[in-house]
Amino acid sequence: MLDRKLIREQPEIIRQALADRGCECDLDEILELEKQRCEVTSQVERLKSRRNQAGEQIAAGKKSGQDVQAEIVAMRGISGEIKVLDGRLKEVENRLDSELLKIPNIPHGSVPRGDERANQEIRCWGELPRGEFEYKPHWELGERSGILDPVRAAKIAGARFMVYRGAGARLERALIQFMLDLNIQEGGYTEIFPPLLVNRDAMIGTGQLPKMENDIFRIQAEELYLIPTAEVPVTNLHCQEILKAGQLPIKYVAYTPCFRREAGTYGKDTKGLVRQHQFNKVELVKIVRPETAYAELEDLVQDAEKILQKLELPYRTLVLSTGDMSFASAKSYDIEVWHAGAKRYWEVSSCSVFGDFQARRANIRFRDEAGKVQYCHTLNGSGLATSRLLPAIMENYQETDGSINMPPALVAYLGGRKKITPDGEWE
RNA sequence: GGAGAGGUGGCCGAGUGGUUGAAGGCAGCUGCCUGCUAAGCAGUUGUACCCUUUACUGGGUACCCAGGGUUCGAAUCCCUGCCUCUCCGCCA
């Protein structure tokens, strides 16, 4: 949610930002509604002031035994007017809110303008594996060895679900544990395990709704939503709170399954783990003071990259352009890991700073040293998504015979085991 | 799922229709005072929005879980929802 005062006073800034994003939003309607809101508020409050005064007089009159019937009758008219104006105000506010919730965030000045072609690679790490053979995609390796079983997953749930078996399940679990431990011990994050279903307010708070209605699973009977990312419950942990300055920065790490409908992606990326309705992700969330937000973003990206470095997986980091950023983001870095079988990079993390955009929606504030209440800034990033990480390990660490070596950093999490054989057993 | 109780300011806790944004206590802050600690005295302490202003200057409105309703007027009465607690049942 953008600052209404900013929209009112400098609409050209917002117009430029929307144009950079390639967003067609109607700012004029918002400006008009905002004007109406101020006018009607003013009117109705004047009437209420009169009503309050009259109330005192009636009370005093009754106490001293005077006849106040005439005044009571007179106030009936005022009360009626108030009711009408209150109704109008409510309607204006509802319309204004619903429009406001659809306006995306303003990109930071350092973000390159343009569509996805304007994304800039800012770092590249590691060397691409160069075996003397044809690298197989992970779905082939997985199905042949039986550690991934999409066919049985389809029987019980449908397309875009996966069953992990034996060494595959263990590897998935090891990755999650490894990333949690790393972020807790070296990154100083506090671990959270949140609810996987949340209410509508939480979804609005972080900006998934109302825009992404079609991409989210909804539990109809209860008006609850399956989280598409841990960002939603974890950021909203502090909604409606005024934090103490000393509590900031707050740094949380959370492993959760994530659920996405992936509507409109039929026929795309149908093989393997890269685009599933349910996948696992370790998420990093920060709530910080405004002046530290961009430094915190750089740290956040480093925390995510460190995981790939420890696992010795080659990756590159991009800064996303204004046209390619997500709805709520002010600036985003994507980290993409190399998949040797698919012969391409896949996004494994997206690290974003949101300014006060989410904090306004979720009403997350803090009291500074001067006693002034201001909005926090929020950030988050994957650290990391296993659905892109596990394939990277399978594909990059594979050998000619279809066996898969384990990254050395992970061996301790696998009970000392170092290799999965071509038939899915531990060697 | 069945039966009951309840949700008031940072915390505790009064308050069942009329100067109650809200008694009292605790905590916090500001003065005064005591050679330190403790005690004492006086004052003060929320958020959002509207109007006004050079200014968080001044004025106003709203907020006692949320949303409706009754009324000239509601923290107080009625309805709905949400949440918490107790007992019974069921259960990983």
Q: Are residues A259 and A195 in the same domain?
A: yes
Residues A226/A274, Cβ–Cβ less than 8 Å: no
pLDDT for A25 equals 81
Q: Which burial class, exposed, middle or buried, applies to A133 when counting CB atoms under 10 A from its CB (0-12, 13-18, 19+)?
A: exposed
Q: Are residues A236 and A354 in the same domain?
A: yes
Q: Which residues in window 23-62 of A are less than 7 A from strand B by Cβ?
A: 37-38, 41-42, 45-46, 48-49, 51-56, 58-60, 62
Å from A236 (CA) to B88 (C1')? 36
User: Which nucleotide is at minimal CA–C1' distance from A48?
Assistant: B61
Domain boundary among A66, A100, A134: A100
Q: Which residues in window 130-189 of A are less than 7 A from strand B by Cβ?
A: none
Other Cβ atoms within 10 Å of A70 Cβ, number: 8
pLDDT for A222 equals 79
Q: Are residues A411 and A363 in the same domain?
A: yes
Q: Are residues A347 and A210 in the same domain?
A: yes
Residue A176 resides in a domain? yes
Q: Are residues A137 and A177 in the same domain?
A: yes
Percentage helix, strand, coil for chain A under 3-state DSSP, each rounded to 5: 45, 20, 35
Q: Are residues A30 and A136 in the same domain?
A: no
User: Which nucleotide is at minimal CA–C1' distance from A44?
Assistant: B61
Q: Are residues A66 and A121 in the same domain?
A: no
Mean pLDDT of chain A: 94
pLDDT for A112 equals 97
Q: Give the CATH number for residue A93.
A: 1.10.287.40
Domain boundary among A100, A128, A163: A100
Strand B: which positions are within 7 A of a protein CB?
A: 18-19, 46-51, 56, 59-62, 68, 72-73
Å from A226 (CA) to B90 (C1')? 26
Q: Are residues A300 and A268 in the same domain?
A: yes
Instruction: Tell me: pLDDT of A344 over 90.
Output: yes
Residue A109 resides in a domain? no
Furthest CA-CA distance within chain A: 104
- The answer to whether strand B lies under 7 Å from the CB of residue A72 is yes
Look at the block and give the residue holding tokens 């870095």: A333
Q: Are residues A82 and A128 in the same domain?
A: no
* Catalytic residue IDs of A: 260, 275, 347, 350, 388
Å from A235 (CA) to B44 (C1')? 35
Å from A259 (CA) to B87 (C1')? 39
How far is it, in rounded angstroms, from Cα A217 to Cα A84? 39
CA dihedral A109, A114, A117, A119 (to 10 degrees): 10
Q: Which residues in window 373-392 of A are less than 7 A from strand B by Cβ?
A: 373
Residue A280 resides in a domain? yes
Q: Give the CATH number for residue A318.
A: 3.30.930.10
Residue A110 resides in a domain? no
Q: Are residues A78 and A198 in the same domain?
A: no
Residue A413 resides in a domain? yes
How far is it, in rounded angstroms, from Cα A290 to Cα A70? 57
Residue A370 resides in a domain? yes
User: Which nucleotide is at minimal CA–C1' distance from A4?
Assistant: B49
Percent of chain A with pLDDT over 70: 100
Residue A426 resides in a domain? no
Model confidence pLDDT, tens digit, residues A211-242: 989 999 998 877 889 999 999 999 999 999 99
Structural domain count of chain A: 2
* Domain that residue A17 falls in: 4-100
Q: Are residues A328 and A364 in the same domain?
A: yes
pTM: predicted TM-score of the whole model, two decimal places: 0.94
Q: Are residues A227 and A293 in the same domain?
A: yes
Instruction: Tell me: pLDDT of A83 over 80.
Output: yes
Model confidence pLDDT, tens digit, residues A1-18: 899 888 988 888 899 999
Q: Which residues in window 327-366 of A are less than 7 A from strand B by Cβ?
A: 365
Residue A107 resides in a domain? no
The complex's ipTM?
Answer: 0.89
